A and B are shown apart, each in its own frame.
Chain A
Amino acid sequence: MLHLILFSVFGLICAAAAVNLLVQSHPINSALSLVVVMGSLAVEYLLLGAEFLAAVQVIVYAGAIMVLFVFVIMLLNAGREAQTKGSRVSLVIGIPGMLIGSVLMAWILILHSGTGSVEAGALPGPPREIAQLLFHQFLLPFEVTSILVLIAIMGAVVLAARPEALQRTEGKN
């Protein structure tokens, strides 16, 4: 019962924040809404017994990625969105597409998701077990992902560097 109430409360918060992200015209407001979404999702994970994941969500997503977003908004001095007319295609084709996808998914889920239900804290928990999986079964994806992150760092540095900074490094070689 409690599980259901908690789920509903935080679920509503999550959904409202998501809608708010769409509605706001200033990107910083959207970013902050997204932070709220992340936080409420962390609570949902907790409810399901995934403590480690909840912690990682808050630390990595809300704490690092969203901070990065906010920094960039600040750096680029993003203002209110201008009301430019974009493409008709995105509205005419995209929205119906999204609706179709969502409706289909919802229909499927509601009809066919079976009678399963989860109790609170359903997931076995200790981080030790996650670590076991991570470093034994999923060792390869782990290593590959770390290389991916390394590449992403290098890429981000190169892409965001100022042009004269790049020339200086090339000139030095």
Chain B
Amino acid sequence: MNPDLHLWIIPLLPLAGAAINGVLGKRFSRAVVSSVALLFCGAAFAMALWVVSQFSSLTLPHTEFLATWIRAGNFQVDFSFYLDQLSLIMLLIVTGVGFLIHIYSVGYMWDDAGFYRFFAYMNLFMFFMLTLVLAANYLLMFIGWEGVGLASYLLIGFWFTKDSAASAGMKAFIVNRIGDFGFLIALFLIIQHFGSLDFNTVFQSVAPIAPETAGAGLLTTIALLLLVGACGKSAQIPLYVWLPDAMEGPTPVSALIHAATMVTAGVYMISRSHVIFERAPSALTVVAIIGTLTAIFAASIGIVQTDIKKVLAYSTISQLGYMFLACGVAAFSAGIFHLMTHAFFKGLLFLAAGSVIHGLGGEQDMRRMGGLRTKIPWTFWTMTAATFAIAGIPPFAGFFSKDEILWRAYQASWIYWLIGLFTAFLTSFYMFRLWFMTFFGEYRGELESSHGHEHADDASRAGVPAPHEHGHGSIHESPKVMLVPLVILAVLSVVGGWVGVPGSLGGNNTFDKFLGPVFRATAPDVNSNHASPGEAAPPEKQTEGTEPKTGHGTELAFTGISVFAALFGLYLAWLLYLRRPQLPQQIARSLGGFYDTVLNKYYVDEFYATMFVKPLVDGSRAILWHGIDQGVIDAAVDSSADGARDASDTLRRMQSGNVRSYAGWVTIGAAAVIAYMIWVALR
């Protein structure tokens, strides 16, 4: 019995909020705007909870058909929605964390002139993201995919009067488009070979195909193209360059879009397409390699950043690399687990950073922070929870998810594990570096710590964008509306990992039990003597639930090593940033050129600019603009107008006013008529 849950209402609720706020918001007061936005977002979350309550009565996967969209011959695409454990988890993350961030934004954006516009865009984003996760076919998912890119562009460039923000928005959109191109080609291939974009149809058609172990084939191509799309959306090498620039947007945007939800769309998409990926081992390897490289690459850049949001941006890229690594070794549920915990602690990190920035009146440079833990205690404690979570220190959330990924990575190849471990160390290091620089030590900024007189030019002295200064002039804690989401997320960062405690530590790994069936249902052909890297039953069974005793010891050993790495990172950060603060300078000087390279993000942006951007812009200017647009199209129109004018100029001369010339014209006309009549008669 398959009840109709009216899933289509879930995305439409925030759309209604976006429409109301977008059209009428200018006339509403801020209270009304925020109520509308929170109401619709909260309603979506409430409905998601209701779906959870109904979940056990469904047959899975649960598809709901709303309307037919495209029907062209045999090819049909519908507006239909899909619910299984994977989309349920994504649904809860998106609506739950989204709702908390909406609440936070009410406080953060209160003094901004574009208040209603912000909430319209945020609700619009929620609509597209929910469409993405609930879609039952690739095309509807692609709509959501494109739509979140659009919302991201609108929100990154929210303070569009600032050049850097506008350019950052454009950069994000364009780099995303490159990825989308790959996605589209993959969709075309799927249509061509499987005749449909519907998940059920495609996956059932793909399931009987044997894995392509012997090199590249159709499925590998499709998988790699899907990967291109995922790299664009989830900021992996080589399409990650937009994410650090996206920090130009308001901090809630960074939290929601570039930490918790949009950037995870790539991971979701790969997990959803696991049927295809599992049958293309080379593609999976590529996924894993890209994930690993991105993880360590971004982490290495993160350790030298001075802007608090940039550190978190690179951290996001790095953690996404972990998720890709997990998918690449076919540990899809581990990847999703990390996605969930990451949404909690990264969202919290960004919100808390926003709270710090808000408290300092717009300051984002960590070198001008310090000693804030007594001044903004709530922010401090919540950020501490998030920092410990991301560093992977038990029993916080990140520990369990990251550890599971590392363990599964080791089972594929020890190289993955080693690099992943080193990256975990770097993660811990730069996060605690951030923690120490922000909250401990001496305050290195220029604001006063108690209620002092107004410093009207704080922002200009601090050298940060004006948009967030609001002239309080003193370090202060954020209002409750901003703190409550922080606390909720902090609690989740602590306990969120406890649903996935692996068997080796005595837990039940409920998460994997819950999500596992999605991936195991179509695992490629389960003979016991296969060499597929697919999520085959045997290794899974060994690491959870009713456990055999083998494997536990190794697993515990590895767990211990990763905890040690995390703690070593903590120690090193303490050493360099609290105990002997002059040490980092000396190290940087001694590393010289290498340090500069890392500081400049390995000059990747400059490389892209010279290799791709500049030739494209110059070529477009010369060929497309001057050459075609001005030379051909404009010239065609202009010359036809000129031609008409010249022709009429010539014809005008007939009106000479001279009677005899008229006589001449009459005569020749008569002769022409006579000639024609004779010709007709003779024919």
With contacts A104-B675, A108-B678 taken as known, whether A93 is within 8 angstroms of B667 at the C-beta atoms is: yes
8 Å CB contact of B668 from A96, A105, A108: A96
How far apart sit A100 and B670, CA to CA, in the bound complex (Å)?
10
Q: Which residue of A lies closest to B657 (CB)?
A: A87
Cβ-defined partner of B663 (8 Å) among A92, A94, A100, A101? A94
- Residues on the B chain within 8 Å of A89, using CB: 656, 658, 660-661, 664-665
Q: Please, which residues of chain A bring their CB within 8 A of the CB of B675?
A: 100-101, 104
CA distance A98 to B667 in the complex (A): 6
A167 within 8 A of partner (CB): no
Interface: B561 (CB within 8 A): no
Query: A129-143 vs B: 1/0 string, CB under 8 Å?
Result: 000000000000000
A104 to B681, CA, bound (A): 13
| A100 contacts across to B, CB distance below 8 A | 668, 671, 675
A97 touching B671 by the CB < 8 A rule? yes
A91 at the interface (CB under 8 A from B): yes
A81-138: which residues lie under 8 A (CB-CB) from chain B? 86-94, 96-98, 100-101, 104-105, 108
Q: Tell yes or no: B674 within 8 A of A by CB.
A: yes
Q: Which residues of B contact A108 (CB under 8 A)?
A: 678
Distance in Å from the Cβ of B660 to the closest Cβ of chain A?
A: 4
The reply to whether A91 and B674 form a contact with Cβ atoms under 8 Å apart is no
- Are the C-beta atoms of B671 and A87 separated by less than 8 Å? no
Task: State A88–B668 Cα separation when bound (angstroms).
Answer: 14
Residue contact B668 to A97, C-beta cutoff 8 Å: yes
Chain A hits for B674, CB < 8 A? 101, 104-105
Residues in B neighbouring A97, C-beta threshold 8 A: 664, 667-671
The answer for the CA separation of A108 and B677 in the assembled complex, in Å, is: 11
Contacts of B663 in A (CB 8 A): 90, 94
Are B664 and A87 closer than 8 Å at their CB atoms? yes
Given contacts A98-B671, A100-B671, A101-B674, contact A86 B658 (CB under 8 A): yes
- Shortest A60–chain B CB gap in Å is 26
Bound-state Cα–Cα, A94 to B668, Å: 6
Within 8 A of A (CB), among B636-679: 656, 658, 660-661, 663-665, 667-671, 674-675, 678
Interface size on A, residues (CB 8 A): 17
Q: How many angstroms between the C-alpha atoms of A58 and B656 in the bound complex?
A: 40
Whether the Cβ atoms of B678 and A91 lie closer than 8 Å is no
Instruction: State how many angstroms separate the Cβ of B624 from the closest Cβ of chain A.
Output: 49
Q: Which of A94, A101, A104, A105 contacts B664 (CB 8 A)?
A: A94
Q: State the CA gap A93–B674 with chains docked (Å).
A: 16
Partner of A87, one of B661, B669, B678: B661
Residue of A with least CB distance to B658: A87
0 or 1 for each of A58-82: is its CB under 8 Å from B? (1 = yes): 0000000000000000000000000
Across the interface, B678 reaches (CB within 8 A) one of A88, A90, A104, namely A104
Taking the closest CB of chain A, its distance from the CB of B643, in whole angstroms, is 24
Residues of chain B within 8 A of A101, CB atoms compared = 667, 670-671, 674-675
Known: A98-B671, A101-B670. A92 touches B664 (CB 8 A): yes
**Residue contact A90 to B660, C-beta cutoff 8 Å:** yes
Of all A-B residue pairs in the complex, the 4 with the closest CB atoms, nearest first, are A94-B664, A87-B661, A97-B668, A90-B664
Which residues of B are interface residues toward A (Cβ below 8 A)? 656, 658, 660-661, 663-665, 667-671, 674-675, 678
Task: Apart from A100-B675, A108-B678, list 8 A-B contacts with CB within 8 A.
Answer: A87-B658, A93-B665, A94-B667, A97-B671, A98-B667, A101-B675, A104-B674, A105-B674
25 contacts between A and B (CB under 8 A): A86-B660, A87-B660, A89-B656, A89-B658, A89-B660, A89-B664, A89-B665, A90-B663, A90-B664, A91-B664, A93-B664, A94-B663, A96-B668, A97-B664, A97-B667, A98-B671, A100-B668, A100-B675, A101-B671, A101-B674, A101-B675, A104-B671, A104-B675, A104-B678, A105-B674
